[in-house]
Amino acid sequence: MQILALNCGSSSVKYQLYDWQKMEVVAKGMVERVIIGDSFILHEVPGREAYRFDYDCPDHQVAIDLIIRTLVDPTHGVLADINDISAVGHRVVHGGEKFTCSVLIDEAVLDAVKEVQHLAPLHNPPNISGIEAAQAVLPQVPHVAIFDTAFHQTMPEHAYLYPVPYEWYEAHGVRRYGFHGTSHLYVSKRAAVILGKKPSETNIVTMHIGNGVSHCAIKGGVSVDTTMGLTPLEGAMMGTRCGDIDPAIPAFMMQKENLSAKEIDGILNKKSGVLGITGRFTDRRDVIEHANAGDHRCKTALEIEGYRLKKYIGAYMAAIGRLDAVVFTAGVGEMGWPIREKAIEGLEHIGIILDRERNKGAMTRKRESLITTDDSPVKVYVIPTDEELVFTEDVAAILDGTYTDHMNFEYTFSRPDFVRK
């Protein structure tokens, strides 16, 4: 059984083709810089050199088509026929309160996802585009939605409710939902294995840092709090999203600049965060490069991000009590050693002792690395995430009839003998 996992982000589409019988990745890759220009696909097949092809992708529909063409390409592909694909798993960022686990997609499911797309304006629309594009190409195979929000459904009421009129929750579902659930699930399970503990025995703070950023407080193996809220706008400073700000600022600026609700929402989601501070960058590699060259606004952006990351580590440590580990993951979390350093330096008083050389050496997306000293009471790891593997295993389990909640279902990557291929 060949399972294709699709992860449509705001400016990228990650994919992975997995052979379930052989339990191995057949091909994986990413279309980067979708919509923003200079887009390209990077296609990886085990045993071959990586293949890069520059191709303009003005939207996610074009990016999906490029992936399909690459998978069946006579030279660079891995499939004789696209019909060799048995099922497709799709990342869906926001499921509202209607979905607490992965589900087979039918018309009713897709309509429900569309109903809440305004809550994740950067992601649900491309998620929907990916589903519709893949259904058009592969109408005969089952498609499964894997929700970012599902992992966080274990949050207690006092963590997910906001101190606003309760009627807002009852009538409109205004509450904290949380996102990047599959990533937090994967790396927390891997951290438990590295620590030599059962997930139910571990307390971990996971830090997913990419263009979108979210952190999760995991107590006893389950999510008890997370930084993103009703939408992915709340929480940490991100590539283009503001994260936590004074809630009076939007109304204040709407009056000052005569902005509509839609315009202020667009600014906070698409023109703030790292881009808002630097005025020109969202990619942290660009920010670090120009900060090192003396650009004051880039230096400031790095200081703001590092400071806010540090505050959340402390806050979540207070929330969950004894802390076993902090985990950095996703593009920036895995590759941005200067940002990791700013986030955890000076935390010796709470048991985190950074090893600067280990941290600088952890610059790969293929290895799990310890970046604290051996005697650090709280360990800090860099663990490359693998959301696509979570998608794949959920799809296979749903088709098999063995799917259940993540604390009772044994994922392959939660086993001590798991080897990342």
Burial 134-172, CB ≥16 within 10 A → b, else e: bbeebeebbbbbbbbbbbbbbbeeebbeeeeeeeebeee
Q: What is the mean pLDDT of residues 107-111?
A: 93
- The answer to whether residue 9 scores a pLDDT higher than 80 is no
- The answer to whether residue 23 scores a pLDDT higher than 90 is no
Q: What is the mean pLDDT of residues 333-345?
A: 97
**Per-residue confidence band for 35, with pLDDT thresholds at 50, 70 and 90:** confident
The span from the CA of 190 to the CA of 405, in Å, is 17
Give the least confident one: 44-58, 189-203, 293-307, 407-421.
407-421
The span from the CA of 170 to the CA of 147, in Å, is 22
pLDDT for the residue 406: 87
Q: Where in the chain is the domain with CATH 3.30.420.40?
A: 2-147+387-414, 196-382
pLDDT for the residue 272: 97
pLDDT for the residue 98: 82
Q: What is the mean pLDDT of residues 336-346?
A: 97
pLDDT for the residue 359: 97
The span from the CA of 264 to the CA of 235, in Å, is 18
pTM, to two decimals = 0.88
pLDDT for the residue 391: 86
Q: Which residue numbers are catalytic?
A: 148
pLDDT for the residue 60: 82
- The answer to whether residue 421 scores a pLDDT higher than 80 is no
Domain 196-382: top CATH class: alpha beta
The span from the CA of 155 to the CA of 259, in Å, is 35
Name the residue type at position 139: P
Q: What is the mean pLDDT of residues 73-87?
A: 91
**Per-residue confidence band for 82, with pLDDT thresholds at 50, 70 and 90:** confident
Give the least confident one: 61-65, 337-341, 378-382.
61-65
SS3 of the chain: CEEEEEEECCCEEEEEEEECCCCEEEEEEEEECCCCCCCEEEEECCCCCCEEEECCCCCHHHHHHHHHHHHCCCCCCCCCCHHHEEEEEEEECCCCCCCCCCEECCHHHHHHHHHCHHHCCCCHHHHHHHHHHHHHHCCCCCEEEEECCHHHHHCCHHHHCCCCCHHHHHHHCCCCCCCCHHHHHHHHHHHHHHHCCCHHHCEEEEEEECCCEEEEEEECCEEEEECCCCCCCCCCCCCCCCCCCCCCHHHHHHHHHCCCHHHHHHHHHHCCHHHHHHCCCCCHHHHHHHHHCCCHHHHHHHHHHHHHHHHHHHHHHHHHCCCCEEEEEHHHHHHCHHHHHHHHCCCHHHCCCECHHHHHHCCCCCCCEECECCCCCCEEEECCCCHHHHHHHHHHHHHHCCCCCCCCCCCHHHCCCCCCC
- The position carrying tokens 């009056």 is 255
Contact 316, 350 (CB under 8 A): no
CA 158 to chain CA centroid, Å, is 24
**Per-residue confidence band for 408, with pLDDT thresholds at 50, 70 and 90:** confident
Contact 122, 273 (CB under 8 A): no
pLDDT for the residue 202: 97
- The answer to whether residue 323 scores a pLDDT higher than 90 is yes
pLDDT over 90, % of the chain:
76
Name the residue type at position 3: I
Domain formed by 2-147+387-414, architecture: 2-Layer Sandwich (3.30)
- The answer to whether residue 17 scores a pLDDT higher than 80 is yes
pLDDT for the residue 213: 96
pLDDT for the residue 28: 92
pLDDT over 70, % of the chain:
100
Give the least confident one: 63-77, 109-123, 143-157, 185-199.
109-123
Q: Is 174 exposed, middle or buried (0-12, 13-18, 19+ CB in 10 A)?
A: middle
pLDDT for the residue 173: 87
User: What average pLDDT does the chain have?
Assistant: 93
Length of the chain: 421
pLDDT for the residue 360: 96
The torsion angles phi and psi of 6, rounded to 5 degrees, stand at: -120, 130
